[in-house]
Amino acid sequence: MRTPAASGKLRIIGGTLRGSRIDVPNAPGLRPTPDRVRETLFNWLAPVIDGARCLDLFAGTGALGIEAWSRGAGVVDFVERDARLVAALRSDLTRLRVTDATVHATDALAFLHNTGHACDIVFLDPPFAGDLWTSTAQALDMRGWLKPGAWIYIEAPSEARPSLPEHWLLHREARAGDVGFALYRNGDS
């Protein structure tokens, strides 16, 4: 599968920012979500994105959160610890005039141990090295980051089977090359 990082730019594929480009810095382990995966994901989320509070954990380029904002999300929080990626993301948000968005320059697990706002949609797309899915899912679930009925997007190597809370109900899943992606619904009420 062709990686969008090769060009140094990634395009927003829908909404008010459709066609806009965002920077893809050369950073170890950075794997922006491919266009066709984002298109599928946001088709799934279309009925619930308008006005949603979104959390883009392990934001990297911020492609998922920016795409969500472009398609009508109300508020987006980006969490990224790499200083170069944070700088590029802040620059892109300013250039694109994205409002109601905050970039948190910190580790995602450390961020989740704070008190925050319960979210409607969470993008959980950590680096593929290691198993951050399980610990991040537990922190999201136990620290009040998810509204009842919230949507959680998971992106992982296609052979991986992250351990997720039992009340996260699988809504849809698909595969694109070596990447598996799925959308879950928080069934905890």
Number of domains in the chain: 1
Point out which residues pair with 121 in neighbouring strands: 54, 151
> What is residue 163's three-state secondary structure?
coil
Q: Which domain holds residue 53?
A: 4-186
- Give me the pLDDT at residue 5, please: 41
Residue 104 CA to residue 66 CA, distance in Å, equals 15
- At 128, give phi and psi (nearest 5°): -75, -20
Nearest one of 110, 7, 19, 29 to 66, comparing CA atoms: 19
What's the CATH code of the domain at 18? 3.40.50.150
pLDDT (mean) for 117-136: 86
- Give me the pLDDT at residue 189, please: 54
pLDDT in tens, 141-170: 888 899 999 999 999 888 777 788 999 999
